[in-house]
Structure 1
């Protein structure tokens, strides 16, 4: 199921895995393949990931507790220990083992190799985020990457687009903006990856144009009625701190926005702007306009919320 250790570096590089992680992943390959329990769990994870490939919501939930138990020795009462290197990197081996299935699925749909490559390269981006936050190798959010490796999400220019349904909770929130798509409506959920340059209006326009063509071409049976986004970037309080022509404000203006102020989401902008949601608010840097906006608002006793936005898609 796993490629040989000698073949692993090139595969990892194709997935944009950071160079500083390559040698450790190759070295741990032998340890993993000699561990019967770990290999059995890997096979189960791969089977769950590729089952019903491409079906929205079809991937089996990521077994985080079982992975933690296997690699931290919880069965022996050492639940306070953090996972070792193999536990932190385990998801990488799962995604590598699933790669042939993902590529075959993309090929059957006629998806260009460059779209596949840029989509799956989010593994490397995710690992870079993990190292920035923790100072060591690993995967930051395994469940998130399952969308990429299950054929539900694609990178098209600056933005990522996830095939989805609006869902009941989102439909209730979006209804506050006026007539909005219902819970069962198909939509493209927009995501903004890190380490990908400015969120400029031109880059977003290009991404949306690419998406309209891509999904009409490769998923002709699906009819998406809306583009949606659920993000702290859509918290309209940001307009108090940012210029009207700033990229974030211009991005907000694409959407009809409802802000859910029931539960604050202060850790979200701290995570995405500063790289670590656990940083003390008092010491947050003030180097950029966005850093000052996020930190100063929190230090003044304010809170940030998730904005829920949508706009109609009439040509997909």
Structure 2
């Protein structure tokens, strides 16, 4: 009888999972389709660390020691939470199955907010379950101890940055980190992309690129630190399945109006100057508001009053407010930068006047 209770979660139908966890049909199908590989040794194919080990690990991954008891109280139980344990098993299987291999059909993992705190912290327990395999992979491809733990500490950073202060999700980056396709290498972070298709705007068919991210906790993006990170990323990519010939960065930091308001020798303008081809421009006023001021634009009624209350102590803060006051918008774009693995074209960023003449003012 005890074994039957322990394995009850295995007998659940996808429709039961969808109803209990309030997943969409597409999300339920994605989890149902995860291969039946061995996630890890242990009862129920998921080996969760004991409480004392989980406490030490979660602190090493960046969670405050004071928050550990609350986290441990969310440990999923296969008797009490069979639907969550089913999903936990699928999460672990996916992470192991995709280890080191970018998924061209990847989707962010949805927030599980229909099962209390156990649901909201479920992904964190999945990440702890696969951590030994992740660490072995890091060692096998030559990541240093610091690089390995810096990469994995994205878990603590995302928990701290959670808007609700509880749990995870929806989460885009963490499944990439714990399936070993995303790495923190010094000041910058990177994740591998699937090989280019035949109609890519920048890459040749089959060429590899890495997404480049600027974590918010690393201080100034000085040219020296950025160069060191990018050189290290190319070096690491040569030990993986595909060499990165191009970096791409989708961010408000690719906004051309920054060149109009910041000095040419500023860290941001010098960072932007590393990219010589741009795609996917979209209005995104909320992005600089979030990343520079730590405020959220969503739900704001009187945007004029909100804007006028923003601090203007730095040139970047003043630039953001000035553009909004002028009636223009901030944008995100995808910038593309060739690496040492592909020859540079020698092109340089256009001066503001030349840029406006060639791009027009339509997207402003």
Q: TM (normalized to structure 2)?
A: 0.71
Question: Offset at 1:139?
Answer: 2.7
Moved more, 271-280 or 224-233: 271-280
Counterparts of 1:286 and 1:226, CA distance in 2? 36
Seen in structure 2, the aligned counterparts of structure 1 residues 286 and 37 have a Cα distance that, compared at 3 Å, is same
| Conserved? CA contact 1:260–1:305, under 8 Å | no
Counterparts of 2:143 and 2:326, CA distance in 1? 48
Cross-structure match for 1:237 = 257
Cross-structure match for 2:81 = 35
Greater length-normalized contact order (CA 8 Å, ≥ 6 residues apart): 1
Please state if 1:147 is matched with 2:193. no
Counterparts of 2:95 and 2:173, CA distance in 1? 12
- The 3-state SS of whatever aligns with 2:212 is strand
Q: Could you report, residue by residue, the CA deviation over 1:11-40 in whole angstroms, capped at 9, with x for unpaired residues?
A: 101211233432210122276874222222
- The 3-state SS of whatever aligns with 2:75 is helix
Seen in structure 2, the aligned counterparts of structure 1 residues 232 and 167 have a Cα distance that, compared at 3 Å, is farther
Cross-structure match for 2:65 = 19
Seen in structure 2, the aligned counterparts of structure 1 residues 59 and 169 have a Cα distance that, compared at 3 Å, is closer
RMSD: 2.7
Structure label with greater radius of gyration: 2
Q: TM (normalized to structure 1)?
A: 0.81
Cross-structure match for 1:92 = 124
Aligned length: 289
Counterparts of 2:322 and 2:254, CA distance in 1? 18
Seen in structure 2, the aligned counterparts of structure 1 residues 292 and 32 have a Cα distance that, compared at 3 Å, is farther
Cross-structure match for 1:80 = none
Cross-structure match for 1:79 = none
Please state if 1:115 is matched with 2:147. yes
Counterparts of 1:23 and 1:170, CA distance in 2? 51
Cross-structure match for 2:230 = 208
Seen in structure 2, the aligned counterparts of structure 1 residues 159 and 245 have a Cα distance that, compared at 3 Å, is same
Give the structure with the larger helix fraction. 1
Cross-structure match for 1:313 = 339
- The 3-state SS of whatever aligns with 1:306 is strand
Cross-structure match for 1:226 = 246
Seen in structure 2, the aligned counterparts of structure 1 residues 85 and 286 have a Cα distance that, compared at 3 Å, is farther
Cross-structure match for 1:102 = 134
- The 3-state SS of whatever aligns with 2:244 is coil
Question: Offset at 1:146?
Answer: 1.0
2:94 to 33, 43, 48: 48
